[in-house]
Amino acid sequence: MKKLIEGLHRFQAGYFESNRDLFEELSQGQHPRVLFVTCSDSRIDPNLITQAKVGDLFVIRNAGNIIPPFGATNGGEGASIEYAIAALDIEQVIVCGHSHCGAMKGLLKMSKLADKMPLVYEWLKQAEATRRLMIDNYSHVPEEDLLQITVAENVLTQLENLNTYPIIRSRLHQGKLSLHGWIYSIESGEILAYDPVLHDFVDVESRKSDPEYVYNLHPSCSVSKSIGCKVYPMNEEKNPPLVQKNTVENNINDSLPRSNRLSREQAERIYYGTRH
């Protein structure tokens, strides 16, 4: 506590005094540019890793950067999302997972949490979609690789959950909102961003396109034809790709893990990128 009080004094005498005009402006209201959803982990500091100024980010933090689907709970996440978009008119949303995530470790071993940490157990049930996807698609993956995969899959699951909120769906339809999936590496400081064209988490500056169109569930026929794709009905096969290119290079090994969202290339290049 002594260390915190000393830090408070340094803040008041140093940073605050040097930025008094900024804080005076902020006292009149907030105008953040980004809704940043991330984990409560003490090693993650959104303003530090993005070097954002006070007032730039509207932050939601909880164990596992989880966004429960609309109507699933009366927690603060939904209210914060609605306020950020409707009242603050934020146009960029980032869901940021991170390496060595304790919540995702717990998600992989839920049975051990019920007695020891019942509240954590109940909260992580909100990420059941991620847990089930891991069980059904990655059961043969070595344990040492599972956490990395779970972190990535969970980010994508939360982006899908965001789509269940009326205000999010409406703004996406209007083209007034962008969703972004990030993974922060604690050990390297690197940020990877999900690229919907490559179906890959890539360096944040090399992403080839904005991701909002991926979350449009009604793409036009002209778009599908222009990129030479075949769109599969959801009941055509057990785990059909949403879109599959009709090219020779897509003759891929069917034994590799597959979800409805991710390409084989993602599993090969990102999830196993450290091994191949």
In a domain, 264, yes or no: no
- Residue at 167: amino acid letter: I
Average pLDDT over residues 195-207: 80
Q: What is the mean pLDDT of residues 48-65?
A: 97
114 within a domain of the structure (yes/no): yes
Pairing of strands 243-245, 229-231: antiparallel
Q: pTM of whole model > 0.85?
A: no
| pLDDT band (50, 70, 90) for residue 275 | very low
Average pLDDT over residues 148-164: 94
Q: Tell me the C-alpha distance between 143 and 242, whole Å.
A: 28
Phi–psi pair at 231, nearest 5 degrees: -100, 125
The pLDDT value given to residue 16: 92
Domain at 130, CATH number: 3.40.1050.10
pLDDT score of 123: 94
Give percent above pLDDT 90 in the chain.
62
Q: If you count them, how many residues does the chain have?
A: 276
Backbone angles phi, psi at 12, to 5 degrees: -65, -40
The confidence score (pLDDT) of residue 236 equals 36
pLDDT for position 142: 86
The pLDDT of residue 189 is above 80? yes
Q: How many domains does the chain have?
A: 1
Higher-confidence residue of 127 and 257: namely: 127
- Which amino acid is present at 50? T
In sequence order, the 6+-apart residues with CB closer than 8 A to the CB of 59 are 35, 36, 37, 38, 46
pLDDT band at 213 (very low <50, low <70, confident <90, very high): very low
Q: Tokens 């995702």 — which residue? A: 104
Residue 103 lies in a domain: yes
For residue 97, is pLDDT > 90?
Answer: yes
Would 265 be classed as within a structural domain?
A: no
Specify the range with the lowest mean pLDDT, choosing from 26-35, 42-51, 255-264.
Answer: 255-264
Distances (CA, A) of 274 to 104, 268, 270: 20, 10, 8
Contact 142, 268 (CB under 8 A): no
Single out the residue of 82, 100, 97 nearest to residue 127, CA to CA: 97
Question: Does 2 reside within a domain?
Answer: no
158 within domain boundaries: yes
**Residue 208 and residue 141: Cα distance in Å, rounded?**
29
Contact predicate 107/128, CB 8 Å: no
pLDDT at 220 over 50: no
What pLDDT band is residue 264 in, cutting at 50, 70 and 90? low
Alpha-carbon distance of 183 to 270, in angstroms, equals 12
Is the residue at 112 inside a domain?
Answer: yes
Report the range out of 144-148, 203-207, 213-217 with the highest average pLDDT.
144-148
**pLDDT the model gives residue 222:** 32
- Residue 253, pLDDT score: 37
Per the structure, the complete domain to which residue 74 belongs is given by: 31-219
Q: How much is the average pLDDT of 146-163?
A: 94
> Is position 173 within any domain?
yes
**Across all residues in the chain, what is the average pLDDT?**
79
pLDDT exceeds 60 at position 11: yes
